[in-house]
Structure 1
Amino acid sequence: MTVLISASQLADALAQTRDAPTERLVVLDVRWQLGGPPGRSEYDRGHLPGAVFVDLDQELAGPPGPAGRHPLPDPAVFGAAMRRAGVSAGSTVVVHDAGQGWAAARAWWLLRWAGHPRVRVLDGGLAAWRGPLTTVTPQPAEGDFLPRPGALPVLDAEGAARTAREGVLLDARAPERYRGEVEPVDPVAGHIPGAVSAPTVENTEADGTLRPAETLAARFASLGVSPGTRAGVYCGSGVSAAHQVLALAVAGVEAALYAGSWSEWCAAGTRPVATGPEPGPAGG
């Protein structure tokens, strides 16, 4: 199954589902923005017919703390949220956010990590949708999804440092945060020594859709990442990095997510920090 689904393809799939109700298509609305209000209010003002709202902070992440601002959720909490949304073992799940793609990619990554193989991201998010919206909140039948974590690779802090030494560790944040010039969220500025700057925003077109696979492959190759490369990705808290993992998957590269990301790395206050435009020597 391909990673992405276009708005027109989703419209066709929704129409087919109406004609053949036995087909299990679940649409998850994961609208979210860093530091902003929960996306629930936007969802209530209008959403895709049948889409179920999922709260990133509460259901796609654990409580913030030493493990980062958006650590991996407790599998039991995540599983319950997915069953509430109607996700079952045989479901095809389509996830979307407003258009940036970061939150949708987080939901995609978590479902894939938890063992659900049939997950697609709406390319361009809700901004690409040209069909009707509704304010009717659906009441889907309870799903039977049971998380089985481990289907996608995950890094901890030690693994991230090792990847920076022995492979390629990509930093998905904005360049100025990588260089340590500004840090609007976390207590320490800079990057993991040895990590390469690779802003997630460079993976998308102006309209928020993902760039073509060949363009992405060329971009990642220029950063030292090709199929078979030991690759990892981190960001501030593991959200935009999930979008980078998705872009790498489209380019044919499997990459591990450092779930705790910079917010975990710098929280301890004892791990090395590099600043400036260069990766710096990878340490431990």
Structure 2
Amino acid sequence: MKTLMDVPTLRERMTSGQRTVVLDVRWALGDPDGHKHYLAGHIPGAVFVDLETGLAAPPAQGLGRHPLPEPAAFEEAAREWGINTYDTVVAYDDVGGVSAARLWWLLRDGGFDDVFLLDGGLAAWRQAGFELETGEECPSLGDVRLEPGHMPLLRLDEMEAFPGTGVLLDARAGERYRGEKEPVDPKAGHIPGALSAPTTENLGTGARFLPAAELRARFRSLGVAHGKPIAVYCGSGISAAHEIAALAHAGLEAALFPGSWSQWSQLDLPVAVGPELRGSTPARRPASARGQDTRQCQSGG
């Protein structure tokens, strides 16, 4: 099943009249102006999707910063974006697909398979010299039906034991994984046994995904192989979806830990710091340090 669509293919679909719903998921942590960016210029016909309200439930203590949305609320939102049962959906952003991948994952989880990430996003569209549109797009109400449960995920109570049986990837920046800084969540560090696999390293020139063969080689170097369970987490479940998309592009399936570090770090759970190699014993923060709040600013993954 394909994960990516390139700009020429999308353009051809649009100009030939093939039913395509294009969704603009402009969002980045610390940048609340995604909608303003959309209004100033977007792919013609694209509908804006607000990640904070459409792709997540409100943050809650013990659940993390971006809990998965309630199924009924997400289905209603998808219809408001104009999605019908037999449509093709293409999601994009301006950050290499990191935020758009959350929409991709949620639609796939809901049983909607004909959804793609626009490889290279808005930058690739601009680079191709295609026009942008301004203002708001107001689509007709769609009729899509979604039922979650089609993508693998792991619950909090499964996470501590998972590295003993599978490969747990941390998609955040390396310095956050190592605990050198933590700009937004209560504690610095990572889940013991997790391996650092920053999602930014899945991208190459022009913020496009690396070829599938290169991605397979990257994940093999982390011990990932067909038949071995894989799970991914990040700061709050956003960039982890991007890593799952990269794994899918490479022909591998991975489970999402939705609460990610923002949930784990809110609770009295073990925390590892420093580099962690396969087969090594992680350095752990003493209990007195685990409760400290290390938040510095509202930026990060």
- Report the TM-score range of the alignment, normalised by the length of the smaller protein: over 0.9
| 1:74 and 2:70 matched | yes
Q: Deviations over 1:18-48 (max 9, x none)?
A: xxxxx43100000101111131000000111
| 1:155 and 2:150 matched | no
* 2:108 corresponds to: 112
| 1:253 and 2:248 matched | no
- What SS does the corresponding residue of 1:154 show, helix, strand or coil? coil
Say whether the 8 Å CA contact 1:160–1:232 is kept in structure 2.
no
**Cα offset, 1:81, TM superposition:** 1.1
| 1:64 and 2:64 matched | no
Residue of structure 1 aligned with 2:118, choices 101, 119, 122: 122
| 1:37 and 2:36 matched | no
Q: Deviations over 1:5-30 (max 9, x none)?
A: 1111111111112xxxxx43100000
Say whether the 8 Å CA contact 2:40–2:135 is kept in structure 1.
no
- What SS does the corresponding residue of 1:272 show, helix, strand or coil? coil
Segments of 5+ residues of structure 1 without an aligned counterpart are 18-22
* 2:43 corresponds to: 48
| 1:213 and 2:178 matched | no
Q: Percentage identity across aligned positions?
A: 53
Q: Deviations over 1:228-272 (max 9, x none)?
A: 11000000001111110000001111000111000001111x110
* 1:12 corresponds to: 12
Q: Deviations over 1:116-137 (max 9, x none)?
A: 0100000010000031111142
Aligned length: 277
Distance in 1 (alpha carbons) for counterparts of 2:165 and 2:228:
10
| 1:3 and 2:30 matched | no
Say whether the 8 Å CA contact 1:265–1:271 is kept in structure 2.
yes
Distance in 1 (alpha carbons) for counterparts of 2:44 and 2:205:
26
- What SS does the corresponding residue of 1:155 show, helix, strand or coil? coil
Distance in 2 (alpha carbons) for counterparts of 1:222 and 1:250:
17
Segments of 5+ residues of structure 2 without an aligned counterpart are 285-301
Query: Structure 1 residues 152, 281: closer, same or farther in 2, change over 3 A?
Result: farther
CA RMSD between the two structures: 1.4
Distance in 2 (alpha carbons) for counterparts of 1:133 and 1:271:
47
**Aligned AA (2:40):** R
TM-score, normalisation: structure 1? 0.94
**Cα offset, 1:158, TM superposition:** 2.0
* 1:222 corresponds to: 221
* 2:22 corresponds to: 27
Say whether the 8 Å CA contact 2:13–2:19 is kept in structure 1.
no
**Cα offset, 1:281, TM superposition:** 4.6
- What SS does the corresponding residue of 2:100 show, helix, strand or coil? helix
Say whether the 8 Å CA contact 1:105–1:246 is kept in structure 2.
yes
